Structure 1
Amino acid sequence: MITEFLGAHCPDVLARVHGPAGAVELRLVEQTVGRPLPDDLADWWRLADGMDGVLIPMLFRPLSATGALGGYRTMIAAGSEAPGYGGPSYREHLAAPAGTVCRHGFWLPQWLPIATDLGTHLLFVDLRPGPDFGCVSGIDEHREHDNRLWPDVAAMLAEVAAAMRDGTPVRGYLLEAGADGIRWGW
């Protein structure tokens, strides 16, 4: 649905969707994070390995598997400088189930970036074990973690597709599509 919409309403944006990720890239991500990828994330990357343009509200651009790995490594390095890193609170968050909010400025090694606003915010999947494994959350430049935004990547993409199909708002944002790309407004 998403690619059909882009082709019909903004073909220049469709041209910015990357081809599929290969098995080697997906395996490297799993090896680096030490966890299996959620099936819906792996399926998404097998269809479209990121894109050079906004797709997800507000201004998020999907990362490729390689881009996600680069973002992951950057955040791991930056997160290790947070006050309390490695301490009791950090270890408590490591052991908490997926979807548990972390408000201590940490970046957990079980979080994998999947989209960026090219500024200071990321969307990530939470790879900690638990019933919310694979949920999508956000984080800002202060590593302030938002509550769970979507239960998984499939739900996030389904909401974007519904906005394209019938104008349904996504998290309060309305889709605006044109020759110059996708925007999400109020």
Structure 2
Amino acid sequence: MAGEPFDVLWSRIERRLARSAPACHARLNPPADPAALLRAEQETGRPLPGGLAAWWRAADGVSPARPSLGETPFRLLPYGCDPYPVAEALTRRKLYLRSSHDTVPPPLAAPLEAWLARCGQDPAGTYYPYDATPLWLPQWLPVGGDGLGGGLFVDLRAGDQYGCVVRHGTTSHGPNPSWPNIETLLAHVADTLEDLDRDGD
């Protein structure tokens, strides 16, 4: 349901997870420490969108899946992704930023820095999926991963699409946001879980 309060939205997800995917429900972490949210804002230099902060205050991502042999773990988010705890999101961000620098020859390091700075001034929702060099901006914060190097990030740059959610792979990212914000992503998750629940009745 569009525009529903976050606590109602999260309650829908938790209720359906407990019923239809109890193993995934059991992997939900306790709420994030407020200091962790502050650290995320300090490291990115940007405020967290309200929906993302509320999500981490409800559950600090999930613990790693430990499926039995031959079992495929249930992933909470689309594209086979699980939500990251705050600490994991920050660690992944650092890895992706380092990877951008490690793939560029030393003579191009300064132009890369200038390019990153210029792209950081673009409005949220501006992407570069066809660049030859994998690009990761300091204002992009990973929020979920598929375990294979891909996942979802939130764009923290200023603009009308601030807080939008974008899919990324190992070498590039989508040309457009997949969802306008975390709330819309989680509404999609809640709707999907309720559809699965109805199909199981």
Same fold by TM (over 0.5)? yes
Aligned length: 169
- For 2:117 and 2:42, the matched residues in 1 are separated by 21
Deviation at 1:94, TM superposition (A): 1.6
The within-5 A match list for 1:149-164 is 149-164=178-193
The structure richer in strand per residue is 1
Please name the residue that 2:31 is paired with: 20
Structure 2 gaps, min length 5: 1-11, 66-74
The alignment's TM-score, normalised by the length of structure 1, stands at: 0.84
Please name the residue that 2:137 is paired with: 108
Task: Assess if the C-alpha contact under 8 Å between 1:40 and 1:153 holds in 2.
Answer: yes
* Partner-residue secondary structure (3-state), 1:8: helix
What percentage of residue pairs aligned between the two structures are identical? 35
- For 2:152 and 2:42, the matched residues in 1 are separated by 21
Task: Assess if the C-alpha contact under 8 Å between 2:79 and 2:151 holds in 1.
Answer: no
- For 1:127 and 1:48, the matched residues in 2 are separated by 21
* Partner-residue secondary structure (3-state), 2:61: coil
Task: Assess if the C-alpha contact under 8 Å between 1:98 and 1:133 holds in 2.
Answer: yes
- For 1:85 and 1:145, the matched residues in 2 are separated by 21
Q: Does 1:96 align with 2:150?
A: no
Structure number with bigger Rg: 2
Please name the residue that 1:140 is paired with: 169
* Partner-residue secondary structure (3-state), 1:41: helix
Q: Does 1:39 align with 2:50?
A: yes
- For 1:160 and 1:85, the matched residues in 2 are separated by 40
Deviation at 1:10, TM superposition (A): 2.1
Question: What letter matches 1:59 in structure 2?
Answer: G
Q: Does 1:56 align with 2:77?
A: yes
The alignment's TM-score, normalised by the length of structure 2, stands at: 0.78
> Over the residues paired in the alignment, what is the CA RMSD in angstroms?
2.0
* Partner-residue secondary structure (3-state), 1:112: strand
* Partner-residue secondary structure (3-state), 2:177: coil
Please name the residue that 1:78 is paired with: 99
Structure 1 gaps, min length 5: 168-175, 178-186
Please name the residue that 1:183 is paired with: none
- For 1:131 and 1:82, the matched residues in 2 are separated by 32
- For 1:107 and 1:9, the matched residues in 2 are separated by 36
